[in-house]
Amino acid sequence: METYDHVEIEEKWRERWEENKVHKTERDEDREPFYLIFAYPGISGFLHLGHMRCYTYTDILARYKQMKGYNVLFPAGTHPTGNQAISLAKKLEENDEGKIAYMKKNGATEEDIERMKDPEEVVKYFNEVYKEDYWKKFGFSIDFDYFTHTIREDYKKFITWQFKKLKEKDLLTQKPYFGTECVECGPVAVDPSETDLSEGGNAEKQEFTLLKFEYGDRYVTAATLRPETVFGQTNLWVDPEIEYQIVEIEGEEWIMSEEAVEKLTYQKDSVKEKGTIKGEKMVGEKVLAPGIDREMIILPASFLDPDFGTGIVTSVPSDAPYDYVALKDIKEDEELIEKYDLDLTDVEPIEIIESEEWGTMPAEKIVDELDIESQEEEEKLEEATEKIYRAGFHTGRMLDSCKDYAGMRVQEAKERIKDDLISEGKADVFYDLSEEVICRCGGKVVVGKIPDQWFIRYSDQELTEASVDQAKKMMIKPQSYADNLPSTIEWFQDRSCARKGNWMGTNFPFNEEWIIEAIADSTFYPAYYILAKHYNQGDLKADQMSEEFFDHVYQGKGEVQEISKTTGIPEHKLKEIREDFDYWYPLDLNLGGKEHMTVHFPVFLMNHVALLEEEERPKGIFVNWWLVGKGGKISKSKGGAEPIPDAAEKYGVDTLRLFYAHSASPFVDKEWSEEEALIYQKKLNSLWDMIQKIKELKGEEKAIDDYLISRFNELLKEYHEVMEEYEIRKGANIAFYDIPSEIEWYLKRGGENRELLQKIGKKLVRLLTPFTPHIAEELSEEWNIDFITQELMPEYDEDKVSKLAEAREEYVKKVQEDIKHILDIAEVEGHDIYIYVAEAWKEQAFEKVLEDPEKGMGLMGEIVEEVDAPSDDLASFVKSALEDVSEIGYQSLVEVDFGEKEILEESKEFLEKTFEADIHIAEADEEGIHDPENKASHSKPKRPAIYIE
RNA sequence: GCGGGAGUAGCCGAGCAUGGCCAAAGGCGCUAGACUCAAGAUCUAGUCCUAUAGGGGUCCGAGGGUUCAAAUCCCUCCUCCCGCACCA
């Protein structure tokens, strides 16, 4: 059969929509607005099919709402803030072969590449790619008149205003911050996606307590992750072979490894080198331990790593397996004791923490249990340390030896002891990374101190509470995120919002050398799209966008005449912009991938709450999971990484849209599968064929019509219900599978009503439109409408639902099924099928049973009175009826009143065709029927007996 | 650690909120048939076990419980996955 050419029709309709400005959106006070966005993408290079998942969901919902009669605003933009465009330009400048090949493969020309050695041009280029090759290509109903991006002058004005407002509301603050930074190129993010890194994405920033041990005029320093164990300290460990550094920090002299000094230079204002001291020089000497004011001996050890902590470790043999084993080793090493002349009499483990699992001497116990022999058995020691720590942290309590902290839970004591030691000047804080991290640029990543970092005060009590309230009112999908968002907001701490260095973005208004960071300038932007249109039309200039202007538009402050005078924006324009904002806001829905759950969505919401009144705050969030490659990220080797325009041509845009919508719930990661995409392509072809076929049928009304009308209406109702709840997958399932399969059944049953099929066909194509708009337009081209995209959805009509029609079909299906079963099992020829409808008295008896099945056979008395039937037959029937009564489905079928014989006669032709047999229908108690095996007596109401020969 | 999620037939993957028409949608794979010289594509039927009459049995990670009734609710356990901040 003639099918359609997706490349041709998709292009055709894309062009027609554009020519006719179908997606143009204007304020219209007579229609209810619906405003939705997807989280705009950064400019990070070419996108792949994974990214299109979220955008497609957005378009499906936009189109659905549009067809429900809403005035839908669906804008889009990009987020080039950051250094991604800069580093791409740099790579191209350096003639990086890999990058150039990548650009070419995705369709960039030589000139494009030449041009893109300038970061601004990178942004320009990708803005076009995103718009033309991705969003338009996919047939999205975006109105690009509202397009904006975050490094445009106008957008920067908007961000500047936003930060002024945050400052006014006392939501900005400055304080020291320890963050990860590359020694070459400034702040970088350490995360497994390794956007900024070439190595070490799984590293964690660890906070050590740097303990200071008095050692003459100096301090020996030891870094620990477990400050709560200070009461159990018995000695220090140094490596006799290491040349330790002496450095001056904050007027004191500290001793630590060279590696530690290097790290500290990024965390302390001044670090002056004062000389060195070899480990063995310190061995045997005494230090004064912080917090417990106890003299301790310095002992030699071999397990120390100068790149971990300070290369000096305080020993807590009661709770640290390493220390316990090292101490045991040294006590048995007489040679060593003699060499350094060590006095070890007082060096004994001290009980400090009691946990359920490990008692009061956990190190001893676990070393015993794991059978650890020496300090060289690193693997076992790591395991032991981990186990004890976990148990201690959760169930542990501090013992009496811990003085003021006795009885406290370990979790609490840990913080308290750390804070107390620091405030007494006996300890400091030292940050380090858990593994080596290397920047994209090749530089080493360290933890550095920024003394005057700017923060947005998301910890603010009032803001937090108001945001939580709002979150609870919103429509958030999936439910699990709706449940979590309030606690995510409560947990949200102050967040740094500006940075220095090589960065594209808006200058921080209160300190121009800082640039606003990428998350901080992408929280409130749905409010800006509305203005961007006026800027794009040339009615608004960036330098007119003053604080008063934004105050007026977003917060209704000030007098129009006044603002018009100071900004030069005509009064009517100001009014128009203000009204636009008023009309479109609040935002109905923000859609984004699951990566946004812990950062973007919370700050998006909190900034709205900070800046706008309650009735203007967002109403919905939709989170989608990812499209992934086999076993993880989408990549070249695993498929799904081909350029989007190529994929669109290969599979068809409608196919891909249906794939996203239907192949999995939006709330799970979905593996990309080419085969599956091709199946959806076939699906669309066969749906196309079916709709073409039903257009051509020319038959008349039949009884089966009522069934199709009824089922269609019920499914239509369900369709709307699920789509209103943004259950995209269910909606697609109804439109593309449930309804077509009802139509298939209808045709199979001999339905051919031309008028009905035309009507249902037209409605069905509308239901398909949000998902596969191109094919829907093509199918409806001859219907004398402009664009099906602009049509309204069919609505559910309750009067069309007929329980009777449905029950009759169910009955036929059941009979058909039973015959099939018998044919499967029995060895019969199957030329003649006899169907015996149950005697009337059986139905009467069944109804009596239904009245009160609890009575069981006790019902017999009553039934014998009322029902006229042979008493033996009656008794055995009631018995079986009592069993059947628990089958809910059967019961409800029996309750519907229709003539079985009549419906069977009607379906005779269908059954004969299905089984290629003669069908004979009779009542079970008719005289002279053909029933050699006496099957007729087995008939039940709505469950006729069958005999086949 | 903290917080969250998931375990469904050979495989992928719905269902679970509102327990009962659930032996459990859809797809893949497989089997048979139609079409074809043949292959592919397509279409039809079947695909837990069992049964020569529409039946019976077992089943939704494991084990308990609630209920007339559990894949669905509750408890315990096992296994796997994700987020945890300057990454959009």
The interface predicted TM-score (ipTM) is 0.86
> Average pLDDT of A481-490?
85
pLDDT confidence of A1, banded at 50, 70, 90? very low
pLDDT confidence of A368, banded at 50, 70, 90? confident
> Average pLDDT of A118-134?
95
Amino acid at A5: D
Q: Hey, what are A830's tokens?
A: 């199957």
Does the pLDDT value for residue A636 go beyond 70? no
Q: Which nucleotides of B are covered by protein (CB under 7 A)?
A: 1-5, 12-15, 20-21, 25-28, 41-43, 46, 51-55, 68, 82-88
pLDDT attached to residue A873? 81
Give this prediction's pTM: 0.87
How far, in Å, CA of A930 to CA of A927, rounded?
9
- Which pLDDT tens digit goes with each residue over A487-502? 889 888 888 899 887 7
How far, in Å, CA of A748 to CA of A742, rounded?
10
State the nucleotide closest to A497 in CA–C1' terms.
B86
The C-alpha angle with vertex A848 and arms to A842 and A854, in degrees rounded to 5, equals: 125
Q: Report yes or no: A588 and A441 within 8 Å, Cβ to Cβ.
A: no
Does the pLDDT value for residue A441 go beyond 90? no
- Which pLDDT tens digit goes with each residue over A34-47? 999 999 998 878 88
Q: Which residues of A620-650 are buried (b: 16+ CB within 10 A; e: fewer)?
A: bbbbbbbbbbeeeebeeeebbbbbbbebbeb
Most confident listed range (A301-310, A325-334, A600-609, A920-929) = A600-609
What single DSSP character describes residue A896? S
Q: Hey, what are A868's tokens?
A: 């006229």
How far, in Å, CA of A444 to CA of A188, rounded?
11
pLDDT confidence of A822, banded at 50, 70, 90? confident
Q: Which of A73, A75, A43, A79 lies closest to A159 in space, CA to CA?
A: A79
Does the pLDDT value for residue A155 go beyond 90? yes
pLDDT attached to residue A632? 56
Does the pLDDT value for residue A445 go beyond 70? yes
DSSP H/E element including A623: strand A620-624
How far, in Å, CA of A283 to CA of A792, rounded?
86
Mean pLDDT of chain A: 87
> How large a percentage of chain A has pLDDT more than 70?
96
From residues 463-502 of A, list those within 7 angstroms of strand B by Cβ: 480, 483-484, 487, 491-497, 499
Whether CB of A599 is under 7 Å from strand B: the answer is yes
List C-alpha distances in Å: A176 to A173, A448, A597.
10, 10, 27
pLDDT confidence of A98, banded at 50, 70, 90? confident
pLDDT attached to residue A480? 80
- Which pLDDT tens digit goes with each residue over A698-735? 888 988 899 999 989 988 988 998 898 888 888 888 89
Whether CB of A824 is under 7 Å from strand B: the answer is yes
Whether CB of A934 is under 7 Å from strand B: the answer is no
pLDDT attached to residue A633? 60
pLDDT confidence of A88, banded at 50, 70, 90? confident
pLDDT confidence of A851, banded at 50, 70, 90? confident
pLDDT attached to residue A140? 96
> Average pLDDT of A673-691?
85
Most confident listed range (A302-306, A313-317, A358-362, A683-687) = A313-317
pLDDT confidence of A256, banded at 50, 70, 90? very high
Does the pLDDT value for residue A277 go beyond 90? yes
For residues A579 and A326, which has the higher predicted lDDT (pLDDT)?
Answer: A579
pLDDT attached to residue A442? 75
pLDDT attached to residue A570? 97
From residues 215-274 of A, list those within 7 angstroms of strand B by Cβ: none
Whether CB of A31 is under 7 Å from strand B: the answer is no
pLDDT attached to residue A886? 66
Per mean pLDDT, which range of A106-120, A222-236, A473-487, A886-900 is the poorest? Answer: A886-900
Does the pLDDT value for residue A831 go beyond 90? no
- Which pLDDT tens digit goes with each residue over A188-212? 777 655 566 677 766 777 888 899 9
- Which pLDDT tens digit goes with each residue over A506-549? 999 999 889 998 889 999 999 999 999 999 999 999 999 999 99
Whether CB of A537 is under 7 Å from strand B: the answer is no
Whether CB of A460 is under 7 Å from strand B: the answer is no
pLDDT confidence of A938, banded at 50, 70, 90? confident
pLDDT confidence of A569, banded at 50, 70, 90? very high
pLDDT attached to residue A253? 95
Q: Which of A364, A617, A305, A362 lies closest to A467 in space, CA to CA?
A: A617
pLDDT confidence of A616, banded at 50, 70, 90? very high
> Average pLDDT of A271-277?
93
CB atoms within 10 A of CB A31: 12
> Average pLDDT of A77-97?
88
pLDDT confidence of A170, banded at 50, 70, 90? very high
